[in-house]
Structure 1
Amino acid sequence: MLEVDNIEKYFGDIQLLYGVYLKAKEGEVTGILGSNGCGKSTLLKIIFGALKSKYKLIKLDGEVIQKKLYTTRLVKYLPQHNFIPDFMSIRKALQLYQISEVDFKSFFVEEGFDMLQKFGHLSGGQRRIVEVFLTIKTPSRISLLDEPFSHISPGQVAAIKALIQTEKQHKIIVITDHLYREITEVSDAIYLIKNGSSKRIQQLSELEDYNYISQGSL
């Protein structure tokens, strides 16, 4: 279990996050919702260890993690931007992420990727879905996914959802996206970031109550 508590983040004199709490379990997908600029991406970066915060408490299986989480090699993080270098081939990336070409080809059965193709030569949608696949599929205890459904086709979204459901059986998955329906469909637990604080959502109707979505949108 991953437990995050008391996260406070300031940008200058402006406080963005106020004592955020979140708990994510192996076997579940934990979704984070919130309006643009509310701090969802900031929260994932703080958990990963790429961004400092004024206060934070991170525990894994009840043990406090004192160092940056990414240094434990237990976590993989999908940022919103492209992160595989343009010059790297798909084959080399698979080797680095410890993923077999058989698994890759079986997932992308309709794409027909050339394993020697460089990331810089892929289309934006192709590149994004390959990077999403690498982050989810690579061996790790924790996967942090920032907008994995954005800029990819509906068919690819469905494939990613299916992959997440398979991989969650043996890892902790925390996910956020502005496509809230995709998050509500794939998540077992949902948190809403509003006014800098986290609120555990027990029923989807609460998203209307908190004015995150308009009445009748569900």
Structure 2
Amino acid sequence: MPDRPRRAASLAALLALLTLSGACGGPSPAPPVTSASESPSASASPAESPTARSAARPVVVGRAPADLRDVDWKQVPVPGEFCGVPGLVRFGSGNEARATSTVWGQVEISRGLRVQYGDTDEDGRDEAVLSVGCSDEVTMNDQIAMGFVVYTHAGNDLAVLGSITPRRKTDQYTTLLTGAEFAPGRIIVHEKWYRPNDAHCCPSGDATTVWLHEDGRLTPGTTRVAS
């Protein structure tokens, strides 16, 4: 049986590779960001989390600097909804955390190493997109779900705007998200999907989905299959 650190490193490396390939109502309260020494390495907060498509209201996760590029992302929790984990998942000193999924049971949540930035609401301050992945500790499947978490300002706070998940789905492996482009009122997300004869390493299908940012919400729009 492969050891967990090796699989965790594999998933973290995949997330790093994928991110490198890509270019309002009041907020509801959630637990503040804590230091790695204060927070468990794998716990899901009981606080409210966004739905699979969009947050009804941004969920505050801590204070925010004027520029989100100054955020210490190692201290920021992520919503586990993309993997069926309720609430917020907090990390320890590394980039992986164990949690319980309502779909797959015990899973490991990983976050990417590079954050993408862009201004979609034209307020002069960038939003941020962080990639996240999910591995199944029972079947040893390193790729059961992935998503993008979108963070924004809510006044002086850092908040989760919503989660983005692949829209071009097949019966093969999980579709990958490879990059995000920012435009006024939208985020264009690039997807790589698996054709029937594609190897696990190499999805050959390309698609893009336009996610609309309107009234403090993220909703999926049109998905265009390019190949």
**More RCO (CA 8 Å, sep 6+):** 1
Name which one, 1 or 2, has greater alpha-carbon Rg: 1
Q: Which one has a larger percent helix, Structure 1 or Structure 2? A: 1
Q: Going by fraction, where is strand more abundant, 1 or 2?
A: 2
Same-fold call, TM cutoff 0.5: no
TM tier, smaller? under 0.3
